Structure 1
Amino acid sequence: MHTTKSGLFIRHGIILFFGILTVLPFFILISLSFKDSSQFNLNRWSVTFPFHWENYSAAWQAIRDYIGNSFIISGVTVVGVLVISCLAAYPLARMQFFLKEKIYFLIIALLMIPFTLTLVPLFGLIIKFQMLNNWLGLWGPYIASGQVFCIFVLRSFFSSLPEEMFEAARVDGASETKILFTIVLPLSKAIIATLGVLNVLNTWNDYIWPLMVVNEDRMMPLTIGLMVFQQRFTTNWGPLFAGYVIASIPLVIMFLFASKQFVEGLTSGSIKM
């Protein structure tokens, strides 16, 4: 009994240790966001008073347009990825047609190609189609690259649903489209929410592709805008760290609202790697 309690105490201690390591950077970030230049230079790692709330006002004025651009980029991308992925994964999972398996394997083979290897040909296509400083230059590659993994996951999930359910719907006269929208998608809310969160994270935090495609300030997403903001506040770190805090808030709110579906999607056995 004593050994069991000791082991439990050690495990809890390890979990607590790693939990502190996870939370500590966020605490430091928030602490730094309330400092002025003198506080940052003299007491960088401790909490100092008074708090300088004006840092957040300055940061918001500087990055609010960039946040709006990131919402436009991520929102359209996620909707496009999920719609196309669902429409593609359903026939690959539940319907029979010529070369079905070969088409599926060709699609998932794209998972083995790193995104960095496609940057040069993609950029060449963007120039050829005159999509520089254009929303389509961001949406198109994001949707095209994001749907590959989603098709892989959704096809696996759709295939795991009971065949009897589909047979009963077909006997009642339901079309494949009606089966998809009235039966399959309602049962797939958790996995779709999980894929949505993952796609938002990928597009919201991406830096390389927007840097290549966008050079006009009016279209820059948050990742590029923060770099511009950093150049403006090179010696005044408080507003810069306040900008980082503001930039993380939408992702935190999204995860708070989608955390239940996200965890269900990860633990339901839907993602078969």
Structure 2
Amino acid sequence: MNKLTYRSGIKHVVLAALGLLTFIPFIMLVLISFKDAKQFATHRWVLTFPLHLENYTEAWHQIQRFILNSFIISGVTVVGVIIVSCLAAYPLARMRFFLKEQIYFLIISLLMIPSVLTLVPLFGIVIKLHILNNWLGLWGPYIAGGQVFCIFVLRSFFASLSEEMFEAARMDGAGEAKVLLSIVVPLSKPIIGTLAMLNILSTWNEYVWPIMVMNSIKLQPIPVGLLYFTQKQTDYGSLFAGYAIASVPLVLLFAFASKQFVEGLSSGSVKM
């Protein structure tokens, strides 16, 4: 028993050390964000006084437009992906129609295509639709590309729901749209929340596609905005303050939605 306790203690110490290592970059990010140029040059890795809070004020004025752009881009994308995915996954899971299984396998086969291979064809489509330098050039490909995995997950979850609930609803006169909105969607909130968070992460951190599609810096999301800010800013304190501000929305998202995220992962549809 003592040997088992000793081994368990060693494992906990190792895990705690590894966990601490993951926080070191964030700690250094915050420390450097409060330094001026002289403090950064002489005492880069330790806390120094006075703390320069003006770094955050300057950084906020530079990147606030890009953060707002990211909220708009990610928000519209997530809403579009969830709506289209639910509307597509429900008939694939609960209805019968010609070539249903073949259509489903064609959809999920798109998961095997690396997204980088679709950049050139998508860019050609965006040019033909004349939506360059327009948020439609981001929303369309994001929604189209994000719904494949969501359909795969939601279809499996919808198919696992008890058939008795659907039969009772239909006997009461509910149509398919009513069943979807009143039964399926409420029962699927953890899964939908998990998929929404995953889509927010993917669109919020997207870097390559906005550079290809958007010419105006005023319409760019925060990853491209930080690159633009880096090229303009020579003060590392303000630069790291901008990085810290840009990370706050995702940190808050996980802080307030982590419980629902874990519930979605453990609900049986998503295995990670």
Match of 1:183 in 2: 183
Match of 1:267 in 2: 266
1:133 corresponds to 2:133: yes
- Kept in 2: contact 1:156–1:271 (CA 8 A): no
* Alpha-carbon distance in structure 2 between the residues aligned to 1:104 and 1:194: 22
AA matched with 1:152: F
1:240 corresponds to 2:239: yes
1:251 corresponds to 2:257: no
Q: Any idea what the Cα deviations from partners look like across 1:39-68, whole Å, max 9, x if unmatched?
A: 111111111111110000000000000111
Pairing 1:145-160 to 2, within 5 Å after superposition: 145-160=145-160
Q: Which runs of 4+ in 1 moved over 6 A?
A: none
* Alpha-carbon distance in structure 2 between the residues aligned to 1:10 and 1:189: 39
Equivalent residue of 1:140, what SS? helix
* Alpha-carbon distance in structure 1 between the residues aligned to 2:198 and 2:82: 11
* Alpha-carbon distance in structure 1 between the residues aligned to 2:85 and 2:50: 51
* Alpha-carbon distance in structure 2 between the residues aligned to 1:3 and 1:184: 50
1:79 corresponds to 2:79: yes
- Offset, 1:86: 0.4
Q: Any idea what the Cα deviations from partners look like across 1:84-143, whole Å, max 9, x if unmatched?
A: 000100000000001000000000010011110000111111111111111100000000
- Offset, 1:191: 0.5
Q: Which runs of 5+ in 1 are unaligned?
A: none
Q: Any idea what the Cα deviations from partners look like across 1:130-170, whole Å, max 9, x if unmatched?
A: 11111100000000000000000000111111112212222
- Kept in 1: contact 2:29–2:244 (CA 8 A): yes
Pairing 1:208-227 to 2, within 5 Å after superposition: 208-227=208-227
Pairing 1:1-273 to 2, within 5 Å after superposition: 1-233=1-233, 235-272=234-271
* Alpha-carbon distance in structure 1 between the residues aligned to 2:206 and 2:9: 40
Q: Any idea what the Cα deviations from partners look like across 1:208-258, whole Å, max 9, x if unmatched?
A: 00000112022011111101100111x311111000000010111111121
* Alpha-carbon distance in structure 2 between the residues aligned to 1:119 and 1:20: 38
* Alpha-carbon distance in structure 2 between the residues aligned to 1:206 and 1:40: 30
Equivalent residue of 1:52, what SS? coil
* Alpha-carbon distance in structure 1 between the residues aligned to 2:261 and 2:184: 18
Equivalent residue of 1:9, what SS? helix
Q: What TM-score, normalized to structure 1?
A: 0.97
AA matched with 1:122: L
* Alpha-carbon distance in structure 2 between the residues aligned to 1:126 and 1:180: 33
- Offset, 1:176: 1.1
Q: What TM-score, normalized to structure 2?
A: 0.98
* Alpha-carbon distance in structure 1 between the residues aligned to 2:27 and 2:260: 27
- Offset, 1:272: 4.9
* Alpha-carbon distance in structure 2 between the residues aligned to 1:175 and 1:124: 40
Aligned-pair Cα RMSD in Å: 1.0
What's the % identity of the aligned pairs?
65
* Alpha-carbon distance in structure 1 between the residues aligned to 2:271 and 2:247: 30
Q: Any idea what the Cα deviations from partners look like across 1:181-210, whole Å, max 9, x if unmatched?
A: 111110110010000000000000000000
- Offset, 1:175: 1.2
- Offset, 1:3: 1.3
AA matched with 2:99: L
- Kept in 1: contact 2:93–2:156 (CA 8 A): yes
Aligned length: 272
